[in-house]
Each structure stands twice: as structure tokens, then as C-alpha cells.
Chain A
Amino acid sequence: MIIAIPLLFAASLLTFFLVVNSGDPLEALRVKPGISQQIIRNEEIRLGLDKPFVERYSIWAGSFVTGNMGLDMKGRPVWPQLWSAIKYTMRLVIIAELLALTVGLMIGIIGGVRQYSMFDYSTTFVSFIFFSLPVFWFANLLKVFGAIRFNDWLESPGVSWLVAVMLTVLIGGSFALIGRKREQLRLARPGAGLKWAGIGLSLTGLSMASLALYVRNREFGRFVKTLGSEPRILADSFGERIWGYVAHGLLPVIVLFAISYAGYSRYMRASMLEQLNADHVRMARAKGLSESRVILRHAFRNALIPIATIATLSWGGLIAGAVITERVFAWNGMGDFFIDSLANPSPDPNRLLAFVMVTAAATIFFNIIADVIYAFLDPRIRAN
């Protein structure tokens, strides 16, 4: 806990040093015709550019410790802007990360338990695709297919016969494969996939039919949005508001989810495998415990310990914003706040310092959370 204070101090000092030595805040003013030297001088005094480094830093630090983050270069108070950025980032990150954590852990466990199965191979394949996706490219691709094309389709919904037939083959086929495998395991009966294909097709048919009926009776407009974190004009009714948030949040959440999920599922799988091969699990099995008890109590619980480190650290980092995702989707969170402070039009010391302080504090905070989680998970700590 105490280490937090020198840590924050060092971070602020380093950041301040970097910021004041990068770029001239008055450049735009200097090359504007008709601006007198006196005005430039006034601005230098107002922003404290004429003062030595140590003095500027102590002025900033003095007001920061009293809870005042000061004004930015454009004369606006920093804290309300930062607070709004934190809120928007949290909205995005919490949803995407919770989803990624849940799905990632589940897939990781199954992948570990059923190593080298069809399921394991296919999820590994998908994870690696997500892992290696360039965010910027993926986000733009999503905009084209997930928003623009999809909205075009929503405006006049319909499925061409070709797509319908292909879907039928794909879905029916995969159900048939799964079914075949299951039946074979039990009875080794040839042609057993047909029943499963039938079930798969009827489920697909039902859902498509209801979807088609649903879509036809509704005005979606261009539902999925490519920009912004909320509707530009907030609707009055609660339901419409929620829909507005969903429409704006859908694509960025998908992007963040895909990236984080890939990581979590891989780590969880590796950690699970390690535990399943450990002596204490073999011991548990030898004692004749049920398989579910072995997996959940003895393997899963211990496998979570490294995941707790990774997840809390990654949450701390995500408070700093998902820079590219936020930029592409014009999501006014911390990442966007950071870029804006950095280069609009020149580095803004008060904004950047406030940003660094908050993210550093968040990282420290999540480290503490990690410690608390270890205490719950680790049997050695629990025993103490």
C-alpha cells in the first residue's frame, strides 16, 4: 500500500518531464497572422511555460494533492472530462471483459479436460484467429459487414435461395457430424447422424422462421451504429434508450471481446492441463471422487490462481482505455482522452498527468484486488 505513493510520484515526475519536453503548446498561435508578441508572451505566462521544470512540476503537484487537477490548455477543467472518459471506458470494458472472462474460462476448462478433441481443436483455431487479428483492420471489417451491410439487409430483409441452401447444408451437416459421433460412442450405429441432422434443421428452421416474422413486422432502420457511445439524441423511453446503447455498443464490444476472450481461453486451457496432470488431482481421482468434483474443486480452483494475476492486470490496463478500439468507434473513453491530450494540437501537461495518475492508481488498485483473490483461491494462504 505504502509503495503506491513513491510509485505515483515517480510516474508523475517522469510523465511531466516527457510532456514538457515534447512540443510547443503555442505553435498554432505563433504562425497565425496578426497575433502580437505580447499575446504570445501572456499565454506563456498563463501556462507557466517561462518557469523552470522543477517549479512547474511543484505547482502541478501542489494543486494535485489538494484534489485539483487544474485546467487544460483550452481553459476547460480537466477532472469532469476525465471522469466522463472513465465512465465511458468502464461501460465498454466491463461488458466486454465480463463476457470474455466467462466465455474464455468456460472454453478453457473444456479445452483442458477434453484435450485434442474436435472441440479443443476448433476453439484453439478460433482463438488463434482472434489473437492474431489486427484490431484496426478487424474493427473496420466489422463496420462494413456488421454495420453497413447488415443494416442494408435489415432495411429490406430477405435471404436468397443460395444462402438458404448453403445454411441448410452447413447447419444440418454439422449437427449430423456431432450426432454421429455421440451415437457412435454408444452404439456404433451407422447412419445415426440423420436424426441429429433432423433436429438441427428443425431448430434452425424454427429460429429462422420466427426471426423472419419478427424482422418483417418491425422498423429497425439502420440499427447497428459505427460511431459513438450513445444515441446522439437520447430517447425518452427506457426501452428505446437501452436499444440505443446496444446499437452503439455492439461492435466495439465484439472487438474487445474477441481479443480478450482469445487470451483468457488459452491461458485457462494451459493452466487447466497443468492442474489435471498434477499429483493432487491424481490423488483425488484415486480417492474415488466424482469426475465433476475433481475437475471443479481440485483442478479448476487451483487453475484460477494464475488467471487471477492475468485478469486483474489486464483490467488495470484496460482502464487506460482500448486506444485503437475507442478511436475507431469514436468512443469517448480513456484511450481517446489520452490521444486527444497528446496531440490536439500539442501535449497537454495537466490532462496527461491526470490520465497517468488515474491509470497508475487503477493498476495499483487491481494489484491489491489480485492479492485478495489469491487469499480466497490459494489453499496455502487459506490454511494460514
Chain B
Amino acid sequence: MKQHSKAIRFAASLFAVALVASACGGSDDEVEEAVTEETVAEDQPAAEPTVAIYASEQEYTSYNNGAADQGLFANTLVLNQLLPGPFFFNPDTTSLVWQPVATSVDVVTTDPFVVNYVLNPAAIWSDNEAIDCDDFVLAWRASNGKDKSRLDSSGTELKDAEGNSLAVWNTASTTGYELIESVTCSEDQKTVTTSYSKIYADWKTLFGGLLPAHIVERESGVSDLTAQLSNEDLYKIADFWNSGFVGFNARTHVSGGPYVMTNFTAGQSLTLERNPSWMGEPAATDKIVFLMVPDATQQPAALQNGEVDVITPQPNVDLIEQISAIAGVSLQFDSGTVFEHYDLNLANEHLKDLRVRQAVAACINREEIVKTLYQNINPSAQVLNNRIFMPNSPYYKDGSGKFGKQDIDLAKSLLEEAGYKLGSDGYYTKGGKTLSLRLGRRDPNPRRQQENELLIAQCKQAGILMTDDPAEDFNSVRLPAGDYDIALFAWVASVALSANNSIYLPPTKGGGQNWNNWSRDEIVALTDSADSELDEATRADLYNQIDQLVWDDMVTIPLVQWTELYANAEKISGVVPNSFAGVTWNAEKWAVTNR
């Protein structure tokens, strides 16, 4: 027994020591440590770099976002901070000359339309080569669509095995650049003169995200790409432009923005560091890290654990609850540029009658849809009443008129006026045919399914029979083929207003995405005069007239903007939503406050 009591006493005393040591958490020691830390801090100023970490869901792939196979929003998020351009766009789409790059930009004459860019004499790339005229020439050459197909040395067209001609540039879009007839450089290369074949009102959106032309010249072995080029040299340049900017290489991926890319580990992370050559105000934080977190549901935990500082996941109710519960995190909602809408197909035997289309517009209760499916995420989500301007724009105008709210009586009287009779089953018929419409949508998409279910119930009250019509290939096959009665999908609003033209112009006159078989010649005249109008307010008015025409003919019914979510640790200040350019649009102003 003696032995036992000894052992127990020994154990108890040891245990007591352990508990005292761990439980008291060392309150006295903390003071000591703090003192030593302070003295260290005085001796040598904090060397630890400040870092802001953004959780990216999609991976950066390429520096050249203008190439058809490389264009990605994930790239935009990175390139916002790297590639220079003459204009800086604010979240509300207003713009100003980006002073570190260009000192002044002027429209010299309107007929012919000539724009003059005077570049900042001090503007340089991070390898200390000047940002100058050749960068503009490269952008124009790559996107003007003039080099149709590749020729061999004897001047005949090269073909692949199937007899397809080979494109020179793999450009995503030639809009705007195709109107530029020449880009000329001044002697000192710092003044760029662009002349257009006709006025292009969205000219400010051109030449954003310039690629370094001197790199293209060096890597392709062509000495001067602003000169007249032989086909051989042209193809060398195009080859590098098409594929040379994929991934990351410190030698070629130089920066003309506030940050410079210093590391890219595929699948892991991408690091931007402050660009020492940047001509503007130095970026507030030393490093911005893009950390790959492909599964958005894992982002809140990482935010809580301090592994990431800024996240922008697609919002849903669970995610928002989870983020709201984290201490020290601020949450912002923004109504984005992507908006849902219903498209009515005029080729349909019922919908070809304007009164039937209006009846559909009258029976839909958009407020209920927004309230049920969108306000649970973002309480300030609102019904959208314009297809061209989003509510944060100063030019937003509600053209819905009497169709802004659900009106069952109006729907019914419109149908009766159109010769429909209410049948015993509660649905209208005409000539023995029930007014029955399919609601096409992409499958699977639970939210759109719910949207359709609500619409079906709403329009049943007005005697219109609707059925959900999901298809996996709806967006890619059936939509472009016009195989639908009513389609539910989303468009992306653009800073360049003329990007909308292909949706609303008649199909035969440039309306490549007008799948509703809607054709109003007024639209041609209106877009023509709008796109040659340089005064912003007048132009916006013309575009609002186009939107009004769509309301009048009730071809599409806008529903609501998709909500965007921005969450950041409170130690990072300056995170401002921007759904056009993405959250990193002002990353150079993000500041790490404490720690």
C-alpha cells in the first residue's frame, strides 16, 4: 500500500504542474513576450510582407484573354492588375483616362472618326521597355479581322485536310477593331492615332488589356511589327500571339499594371507582387495571392481559418448563413451583370400574336419569383425592367409600363380580344387548339426549374397552359436553332453597349443571336445612330428606345439580375464589388490593416 500511495502522490503532483502550466495560459509570460517583441520591432522594422489572399474557383490559364480559346473570367481577375489600357472603368461603367498609362485621349475629328492617344512618357513595362504605340498596333492587328486566312508562299490559300482555310489570328471578337482603318505612331512612339471607317461609340472599350508587343517581337523574331509585314513574319507574330501567352513565364509575362506576376503553380496558387516599375500610385499591399479553391463550399472554412482573405463564391442560402456566422468578416451583395429573362419565340403559332405575348407578360408575377427565389439570398434583389442598362447605371429606365406588375384581368381580356375562348378545363383555346406553351430551359438547373414552376402556376390563373421543357443541350443546340416556345436563360450585360446589337437586330441584319425571329427595321436605324453618337447621354437614350421597342413588342421579359457575393476578412480594407471586371478591379487599393 505504501508503494501505491507514493506513486499516486507523484502522479498527482506531476499532473498538478501540468494543469497549472497549461490552464493558466501563461498570463505573466505574455507580458514578457510582448516586451521582447517590441524591442525586436524597434531594432528592425517589420520585414514581413503584407499579403492579401483571394480564393479563386477557376484557374488562370492565359495572359491573352482576347484569344478565342483562352478567354476566361478567371484570367480577367488576374489581368486587371497586370495589363495596361488607356481607360479605367468604374463599377457603374463610367470611365476615366488611366493617368499612369495615358495622359490624354481625344477625339480629333468625327468625320472621319479619329482618336488620338497621348501616352504617359514614363509608362513602362516591368522589364523597363516603354509602353508605347507598338502595343496598340499589336492589339489592332490581332483583332481587326483583316487577315482572313493563311496563304502559302505562292499566294494560294492554305487548307487543312478537310479543305477548311486556316485562320491567322485566333481572336475571340473583332467588334470595334474591324472599323479601325489605321493605327499610326508618332516619331517618339508615345502618340497613337487611330482612324475609323465610321464612328464607333464604344471606342473607349477598345485597347484595354494591352499585351506587350516588344515581347511578341522578341519571341517571334520579327524586328518591328508596326512596319509592313511579309506574310511569313505576320504568321510568326500571330503564332506567338495565339499560343505564346498561355500559362506563365517570367521572361514573357511582363506587367504594365500595379502588380507583376511572380509565380504560378498550376492547381495551387498564383502570386502577384508590387510592380516596382509601375508609374502610378504604388499598390497598398505587397502581395496578392490567388489561391485555388475549386469547391466553393470549402471557401467559408478557409476564410474562417485565415487561409484566404477575400472570397466571391456563387451565393446560396447555406453559404451565406455559414459566412455570416464567422466573426471578423464583412459581407457585401451586388446585383451583377448577368440577368435572367424569358424569350418569346415569334415563330410559335400563339406567340406570333402580340396580344398573346402581352398576356404572358401580364400573367407573370415577377415580384413573386424574385421574392421567392432571389430575396432569400439577397434581400435587396429587385425585378429588372431594362435589358441594356443595369439599375446601378445612371441611364437605367423602367420601360415596362402596365406590364410591370401581374394583372390577370388584363391578360384575360387581351386573350379574349385575340379571339381566344376559355374552355371548360380552365385554359383558353382558339380554333380548337389549347393555348399551350413550353418553357424551355437548360437541365439540370434547380433554380430555373423553380422559376418555371412558379410561372406555370401564375399563368394558369390567366388560362394559359405552360409546361416545363428542360433539356441538357438547350442552350447549345435548341436555343440557337430557335426550337422553343418560351426560353429561360441569361444574358451578360456589357460595358460596350453595341455588344447587345446581335441580340436585338433582325436576324438577317446582324442579329446573330436574335433567335426569337423578331424583326423590326427601326432597330437597325436606332443602333446605327446610337453607335455613331458620341454623347453618352444621347446614346443611352437611343438604347433605351431600343429597349422600349422590345417592351412594346414584348419579345423578351427581363426577370432579375444574378446576385453576387463578396466576403472579406475585416483586416483587408477596400474590397469593392464590381461585376464587370470582378473583385480584383481595385486590388491595388486593398490594404491589410492590422497584423
Contacts and interface: CB of A to CB of B under 8 A. Distances in A.
Contacts of A74: 61-62, 69-70, 72, 246
B24 interface: yes
Contacts of B306: 151, 222
B23 A160 contact: yes
Interface string A9-37: 00000000000000110110111111111
Contacts of A32: 492
Contacts of B11: 198-199, 201-202, 205
Interface stretch (A44-52, A90-98, A271-279, A312-320): A44-52
Contacts of A238: none
A190 interface: no
Contacts of A148: 301, 304-305
B304 A205 contact: no
Contacts, number: 222
B307 A37 contact: no
B4 interface: yes
Given A85-B267, A226-B307, A76 B19 contact: no
B-side interface size class? 35 or more
B411 to A, nearest CB: 30
Contacts of B29: 216
Contacts of B513: 31, 33
B302 A226 contact: yes
A51 B243 CA distance: 23
A147 B305 contact: yes
Interface in B467-486: 472-473, 475-477, 479-480
Looking at A29, A46, A204, which has the most chain B CB atoms within 10 Å of its CB? A46
A372 interface: no
B503 interface: yes
B316 interface: no
Interface residues of A, number: 80
Interface in A195-232: 195, 197-199, 201-202, 204-206, 208-209, 211-213, 215-216, 222, 224-230, 232
Interface string B151-190: 0000000001010100100111111000000000000000
A35 B268 contact: no
Interface centre among B160, B268, B480, B491, by most chain A C-beta atoms within 10 angstroms, is B268
B101 interface: no
Interface stretch (A110-118, A258-266, A327-335): A327-335
A165 to B, nearest CB: 9
Contacts of A344: 58
Nearest to A44: B164
A116 B557 CA distance: 71
Interface stretch (B291-299, B446-454, B528-536): B291-299
B476 A26 contact: yes
Contact of A328 (B68, B70, B298, B304): B298
A320 B29 CA distance: 50
Interface in A298-349: 327-330, 332, 336-337, 339-340, 344
Interface in B501-560: 501-503, 512-513
Contacts of B172: 29, 35, 39
A157 B496 contact: no
B22 interface: yes
A92 to B, nearest CB: 13
Given A24-B476, A228-B291, A84 B266 contact: yes
A140 interface: yes
A336 B268 CA distance: 12
Given A45-B164, A80-B266, A208 B22 contact: yes
B7 interface: yes
B199 to A, nearest CB: 18
> Which A-B residue pairs are the 4 nearest by beta carbons?
A332-B267, A205-B14, A198-B7, A212-B22
Interface of A: 23-24, 26-27, 29-37, 39, 42-43, 45-46, 50-51, 73-76, 80-81, 84-85, 88, 140, 143-144, 147-148, 151, 156-161, 164, 168, 194-195, 197-199, 201-202, 204-206, 208-209, 211-213, 215-216, 222, 224-230, 232-233, 327-330, 332, 336-337, 339-340, 344
Given A158-B24, A330-B291, 19 more contacts: A34-B496, A43-B68, A84-B267, A156-B25, A157-B25, A159-B22, A159-B23, A160-B23, A205-B15, A206-B18, A211-B22, A212-B18, A216-B29, A222-B306, A222-B307, A228-B291, A330-B298, A332-B266, A340-B294
